[in-house]
């Protein structure tokens, strides 16, 4: 299996586990909710949300590049690295009142912690509404009144919304994968009233919420705008080498936009989401 294929599987397994599963679920949350003050977050997004609500309540974080150089997290205990399972001993040593993880991706450690009597929160985020629900849920459990999600994600709730401009998002060239409506990216795009031409496509791929497109499809539907995603080891040349690339109106009209992986494909954190929203509003 090629290194490119392995990388794609890594990316989309991560996406599928975190963003395309059933709703947010609390386990073993008792009547002492108002006493919760010690939180361990297993994802960068949940760590960021807790940080915005109450930095002092956040004790443990994942070893994410999104958090590494942020001074808000410099005194937090790193409880995981990459795709390795979180270190349960480290988590237990922090004596948390609540551990927040991603449904699917963190089922086993959350189940183990729950069996030890620790409150857990299993989350799934596929839209801004889901994110708002989670944010309010965390604030409620910490019994803290915080800024609204609209305030901290101002770029995503801007009144200036685009009207029916068509686009396609390309996450990779081989295969040519694009998010449909069942993905975080698809939902974020639709919130800006942009017409994602792949939104209603349903075909079987390894990656839920993502569909395969063909060069012939791109030629037929001619999106006004094309968004390409920056991933490690990739650049625009992987697309420009496609034989129909120069025949696309978006290419001819210089309507190619490059987005980071975090923010649009994997929500990642508040800053990344805000940046993605700002760029979507400019299309």
What is the pLDDT at residue 207?
81
Query: To the nearest whole percent, how much of the chain has pLDDT over 70?
Result: 87
How far does CA 205 lie from the centroid of its chain? 19
- Has this prediction a pTM greater than 0.85? yes
How far apart CA 269 and CA 233 sit, in angstroms, is 22
**pLDDT band for position 29 (50/70/90)?**
very low
Confidence of residue 17 (pLDDT cuts 50, 70, 90): very low
Q: What span, in angstroms and rounded, lies between the C-alpha atoms of 44 and 24?
A: 16
Judge whether 3-152 and 155-281 match in fold: yes
| Domain segments of the chain as ranges | 3-152, 155-281
Q: What is the average pLDDT across 130-159? A: 92
Give the ranges where 28-115 is alpha helix by DSSP (H).
Answer: 44-54, 65-68, 88-93, 107-115
Buried-state track 169-204, b at ≥16 Cβ within 10 A, e below 16: bbbbbebbbbbbbbbbbbbbbebbebbbbbbebeee
| pLDDT category of residue 108 using cuts at 50, 70 and 90 | very high
Q: Tens digits of per-residue pLDDT, 54-67? A: 999 999 999 999 99
d(CA 116, CA 195): 47
Share of the chain above pLDDT 90, in %: 72
Q: How far apart are the first and last CA of the chain?
A: 37
Residue 25 scores a pLDDT above 60 = no
pLDDT for 183: 95
- At residue 103, does pLDDT exceed 50? yes
pLDDT greater than 90 at residue 16 = no
- Section 3-30 average pLDDT: 46
> Residue 9: what pLDDT?
47
Q: Estimate to the nearest angstrom the gap between the alpha carbon of 3 and the chain centroid.
A: 23
3-class DSSP state of 174: coil
Q: What is the mean pLDDT of residues 242-269?
A: 95
155-281 homologous superfamily: Nitrogenase molybdenum iron protein domain (3.40.50.1980)
Q: Please say whether the structural domain 3-152 has been given the CATH code 3.40.50.300.
A: no
CB 90 within 8 A of CB 79: yes
């Amino acid at each position: 299996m090629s290194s490119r294929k392995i990388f794609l599987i890594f990316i989309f397994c991560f996406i599928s586990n975190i963003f395309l599963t059933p709703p947010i679920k609390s386990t073993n949350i008792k009547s002492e909710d108002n006493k919760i003050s010690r939180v361990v977050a297993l994802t960068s997004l949940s760590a960021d949300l807790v940080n915005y609500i109450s930095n002092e309540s956040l004790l443990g974080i994942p070893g994410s590049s999104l958090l590494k150089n942020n001074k808000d997290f410099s005194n937090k205990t790193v409880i995981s690295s990459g795709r390795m399972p979180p270190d349960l001993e480290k988590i237990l040593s922090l004596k948390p009142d609540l551990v927040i993880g991603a449904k699917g991706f963190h089922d086993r450690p959350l189940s183990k912690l729950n069996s030890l009597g620790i409150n857990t929160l299993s989350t799934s985020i596929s839209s801004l509404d889901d994110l708002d629900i989670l944010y309010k849920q965390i604030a409620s459990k910490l019994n803290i009144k915080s800024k609204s999600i609209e305030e901290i994600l101002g770029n995503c709730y801007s009144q200036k919304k685009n009207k029916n401009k068509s686009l396609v998002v390309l996450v990779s060239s081989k295969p040519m994968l694009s998010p449909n409506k069942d993905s975080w990216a698809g939902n974020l795009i639709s919130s800006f009233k942009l017409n994602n031409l792949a939104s209603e496509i349903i075909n079987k791929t390894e990656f839920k919420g993502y569909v395969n497109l063909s060069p012939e499809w791109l030629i037929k539907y001619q999106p006004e705008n094309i968004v390409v995603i920056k991933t490690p080891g990739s650049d625009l040349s992987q697309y420009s080498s496609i034989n129909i690339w120069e025949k696309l109106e978006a290419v001819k009209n210089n309507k190619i936009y490059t987005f980071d992986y975090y923010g649009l494909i994997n929500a990642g954190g508040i800053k990344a989401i805000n940046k993605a929203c700002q760029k979507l509003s400019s299309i």
